[in-house]
Amino acid sequence: MTEEEFDVTPFDVEGTVDYDRLIDKFGTEEIDEELKERFFDLAGEKNLYVDRDFIYSHRGLEEALDEYEDGEGFFLYTGIGPSGKMHIGHIISFYFTQWMQEKFGVNVYIQVTDDEKYWDRDVTDEEIERYAKDNIREIAAAGFDPDKTFIFRNREYMGNMYDGIVKIAEKINNSQASGVFGFDGSTNIGMNFWPAIQNIPTFFEEKRCVIPAAIDQDPYWRIQRDIAEKFGHKKTAAIHSKFIPALTGPEGKMSSSKPKTAIMLDDTAEEVEEKVKKHAYSGGGDTLEQHQEEGADLAVDTSFQWLRNLLMEDDERIQEIAEAYSSGEMMTGEIKEILIQELNDFLQGHQERKENADEKVQKMMYDGELAQKMWDRKMTLNLSGRPEV
Amino acid sequence: MTEEEFDVTPFDVEGTVDYDRLIDKFGTEEIDEELKERFFDLAGEKNLYVDRDFIYSHRGLEEALDEYEDGEGFFLYTGIGPSGKMHIGHIISFYFTQWMQEKFGVNVYIQVTDDEKYWDRDVTDEEIERYAKDNIREIAAAGFDPDKTFIFRNREYMGNMYDGIVKIAEKINNSQASGVFGFDGSTNIGMNFWPAIQNIPTFFEEKRCVIPAAIDQDPYWRIQRDIAEKFGHKKTAAIHSKFIPALTGPEGKMSSSKPKTAIMLDDTAEEVEEKVKKHAYSGGGDTLEQHQEEGADLAVDTSFQWLRNLLMEDDERIQEIAEAYSSGEMMTGEIKEILIQELNDFLQGHQERKENADEKVQKMMYDGELAQKMWDRKMTLNLSGRPEV
């Protein structure tokens, strides 16, 4: 078998979701080769997730890059809902955000939605308290610049945001909120107010806000795009990822509450090994014979998908794996071993950084350059003659 | 004409509103003679408004008085929406609240709804800012105890209340809010969230909250009565007034935006004189002859109603006026002169106290005993295991 016989590349195999259709549905734009090249040029380096088309769609990224080139710049905004422990799917977005921060030298705002989760989920206050603290340490471990990153818990920071939230809330009516979020009569009035709180950080700077998120989150920012210009602000931009398949296969969703579907950030090396061996969905043949004849279906194979999308930087090596596994030369047991190794390397580094995150957390929440500036400031939105506070 | 021929008393003449029907409609209770007596006994003094049945209905006042006698006590909560200058109708409720504070030695919390007015009215932020400052000085002039009174602007104090508001908001759904407040799809999500903010001060102390308000406000507290016990708190009590008729007659509503309907708290003596002479609705006869024959209709006569309900402490004198005016002996011009005199006496004292209110405002908002305690404290509601903050 010569190399020419393979038409598989690790960059064009996908599972059951039709991602092109999602671009059409939401009206976003593909990150095409030209934009990819421009993005990497400006960053000074390519990015694994974008390069492999795991991050593949955007809205307004070109404008944000124009503004970066003009010297105006942009800022990043993301968040976490503290309703459980974090898994590998959660943290990827933060690693990407950190990469953008590092390459473009921009500020990052991270909203910890300890209000929204109380409204949305059957989760106690005690749990929210515990998970908020834990999640913040996980996020800090992604390596953000402690002087350019502000992590804030809504319940704690509300006093500094409320004036601006009042202005935003006045611009959104119940019909719009229910149209976008699906609220109804049984929704509590806290959750119904949530769009105003979700939007305020997009106004933290005059520059354009760029939100890294999974593509299905895109519609939630429609309200921001409708109201931003009323406040003399820019419409928020977004950069969209695909979904990370569950360990148990592309049909499922990785979920902290179903441990076998996910690798948790605090899993031990042994737990990772056991989970991958037991639960990682295989695209390999049902029998040795079938596997050797037909090869593996990379599109549904969790090990391959995770290696390609999230973990394996080395283009040549992932290409080799793609070829060997899809041809039936490599067995499922072998690719699982590779995944276990890569996962444990990743987790080991992450866990060490989390272990030593205390000082960074303190800076990102309170004492760093950006955090101090944010705590000294009362956010407002100038409209109808409100004097600057 | 002997005195015996009069069956008019100044205490049973009312305008066009059927106040008994409002008690039935809202399911509140009348402040009957027995309760009145008990109230005055405990206060150590009678109160003009209650004595004249201007404050005439209640909900839970007996429980609050029981708790007062038991030594547990209660606290008072009221508020102001800063969307305009205040008129005499607005301040009466604060004078009554001040009286209760003085006689029962209780804390008073005054919410300045600079968020709700932004959501509810077509009023600019600049106006809200200006009126909030002005309204607070008017309120301080009512003579509250600076160490037992906390006046707070929602936008400023939100950081200290938000955790508790999150808990309350989770207990109220959109249907309940729209049922009580009439919200619909066109209501903005700020206003829709308002019930949670309105309710939080009823939980500021473990004691029972007592709200002095006009009777039509009673339904807005239904939500509090539905949720209070879920937080281990008491249902809020209320003490209800009738409506103060507009200067222009019992059909109208006193409104800051229609100056001839109201006496503004900053009106000069000359303005008061002119307004009363020109606009005070007269219940007197159309002609001198008719007046002398039939006398005045006290129920619709603004001068008489204002004197009786709001201004004239002296029982004998108001009785004399009632008799003389209803018999046609006293002319409209004469009762208007009495009203002008009483209004100007009242306003002069009020305006002087407002002029010198700066220090009191500072105490009630920031430096007084209660204010300091409130600023040092983060309000929460213990539920589902939330640790004390």
Report yes or no: A222 at the B interface, CB cutoff 8 Å: no
Is pLDDT at B259 greater than 90 in this prediction? no
Residues 6+ apart with CB under 8 A from A17: A242, A243, A250
HSE-CB for B361 with a 13 A CA cutoff: 17
Show residues of chain B in contact with A129, CB under 8 Å: 386-387
Q: So what's the pLDDT on residue A381? A: 84
A146-174 mean pLDDT: 97
Q: How confident is the model at residue B387 (pLDDT cuts 50, 70, 90)?
A: very low
Q: What is the pTM of this model?
A: 0.93
Report yes or no: B196 at the A interface, CB cutoff 8 Å: yes
Q: So what's the pLDDT on residue B388? A: 39
Sheet containing A55-59: order of strands: A29-30, A55-59, A237-241, A208-214, A74-80, A108-112, A149-153
Contact criterion met (CB < 8 Å) for B124 and A385: yes
Report yes or no: A120 at the B interface, CB cutoff 8 Å: no
Between the alpha carbon of residue B154 and those of residues A34, A68, B80, B194, the distances in Å are 50, 38, 11, 11
Q: Which of A188-192, B183-187, B385-389 has the lowest mean pLDDT?
A: B385-389
Q: Which helix (H) or strand (E) holds B55?
A: strand B55-59
Is pLDDT at A284 greater than 90 in this prediction? yes
Q: So what's the pLDDT on residue A250? A: 82
Q: Which candidate in A127, A174, A376 is best for mutational testing of the B interface (most B CBs within 10 A)?
A: A174
AA identity, residue B232: G
Contact criterion met (CB < 8 Å) for A158 and B162: yes
Contact criterion met (CB < 8 Å) for A173 and B189: yes
Number of neighbouring beta carbons within 10 Å of residue A176: 19
Contact criterion met (CB < 8 Å) for B175 and A185: yes
Report yes or no: A231 at the B interface, CB cutoff 8 Å: no
Provide the mean pLDDT of chain B.
93
Q: How confident is the model at residue A387 (pLDDT cuts 50, 70, 90)?
A: very low
Q: Which of A375-389, B78-92, B129-143 has the lowest mean pLDDT?
A: A375-389
Report yes or no: A190 at the B interface, CB cutoff 8 Å: yes
Q: Which helix (H) or strand (E) holds A56?
A: strand A55-59
- Tokens 């030695």 correspond to B105
- φ and ψ of A15, to 5 deg: -80, -140
Q: So what's the pLDDT on residue B254? A: 84
DSSP-derived 3-state class of residue A382: coil
Question: What's the angle, vertex CA A139, arms to CA A133 and CA A143, rounded to 5?
Answer: 135
B344-358 mean pLDDT: 98
Contact criterion met (CB < 8 Å) for B125 and A384: yes
Q: Which of B15-24, B110-119, B142-151, B290-299 has the lowest mean pLDDT?
A: B15-24
C-alpha closest to that of B326 among B15, B18, B13, B19: B13
A positions 132-161 inside 8 Å of B (CB): 154-155, 158-160
Q: Which two tokens stand for residue B378?
A: 């983060």
Report yes or no: B105 at the A interface, CB cutoff 8 Å: no
CA distance A17 to chain B (A): 34
Instruction: For residues A218 and B90, give the distance between their C-alpha atoms in angstroms, rounded to a whole number.
Output: 48
Contact criterion met (CB < 8 Å) for A189 and B193: yes
Q: So what's the pLDDT on residue B389? A: 36
End-to-end CA separation in angstroms for chain B? 72
Q: So what's the pLDDT on residue A156? A: 97
A331-338 mean pLDDT: 97
Q: So what's the pLDDT on residue A2? A: 43
AA identity, residue B163: D
Contact criterion met (CB < 8 Å) for A175 and B162: no
Contact criterion met (CB < 8 Å) for A115 and B166: yes
Report yes or no: B115 at the A interface, CB cutoff 8 Å: yes
pLDDT digits (tens, 9 = 90+) for A108-125: 999 999 999 999 988 999
Q: So what's the pLDDT on residue A226? A: 94
Report yes or no: B30 at the A interface, CB cutoff 8 Å: no
Instruction: For residues B314 and B310, give the distance between their C-alpha atoms in angstroms, rounded to a whole number.
Output: 11
B positions 364-383 inside 8 Å of A (CB): 383
Instruction: For residues B311 and B241, give the distance between their C-alpha atoms in angstroms, rounded to a whole number.
Output: 15
CA B192 to chain centre: 24
Show residues of chain B in contact with A383, CB under 8 Å: 125
Instruction: For residues A183 and A192, give the distance between their C-alpha atoms in angstroms, rounded to a whole number.
Output: 7
Report yes or no: A131 at the B interface, CB cutoff 8 Å: no
Q: So what's the pLDDT on residue B83? A: 94
Q: So what's the pLDDT on residue A8? A: 65
Burial annotation B148-164 (CB, 10 A radius, 16+ → b, else e) = bbbbbbbbbbbbbbbbb
In chain B, the residue whose alpha carbon lies closest to the alpha carbon of A379 is B155
| Burial (CB count within 10 angstroms: exposed 0-12, middle 13-18, buried 19+), residue B388 | exposed
In chain B, the residue whose alpha carbon lies closest to the alpha carbon of A125 is B386
In chain A, the residue whose alpha carbon lies closest to the alpha carbon of B116 is A166
By percentage, how much of chain B surpasses pLDDT 70?
A: 95
Is pLDDT at B385 greater than 60 in this prediction? no
Contact criterion met (CB < 8 Å) for A384 and B162: no
Instruction: For residues B12 and B311, give the distance between their C-alpha atoms in angstroms, rounded to a whole number.
Output: 17
Q: Which candidate in A189, A374, A384, A389 is best for mutational testing of the B interface (most B CBs within 10 A)?
A: A189
Q: Which residues pair with B17 in a beta bridge?
A: none
By percentage, how much of chain A surpasses pLDDT 90?
A: 87
Name the H helices within chain B: 19-26, 33-43, 48-51, 61-69, 88-104, 116-120, 125-140, 154-170, 174-181, 189-199, 222-227, 269-279, 288-294, 302-306, 315-326, 332-355, 358-362, 369-375
Instruction: For residues B228 and B202, give the distance between their C-alpha atoms in angstroms, rounded to a whole number.
Output: 9
Q: Which two tokens stand for residue B200?
A: 């939080």
Show residues of chain A in contact with B170, CB under 8 Å: 118-119, 188, 190
**CB contacts < 8 Å between A and B, how many?**
136
pLDDT digits (tens, 9 = 90+) for B208-217: 999 999 999 9
Provide the mean pLDDT of chain A.
93
CA distance B150 to chain A (A): 18
Report yes or no: A11 at the B interface, CB cutoff 8 Å: no
Show residues of chain B in contact with A184, CB under 8 Å: 174
B14-30 mean pLDDT: 89
Sheet containing B74-80: order of strands: B29-30, B55-59, B237-241, B208-214, B74-80, B108-112, B149-153
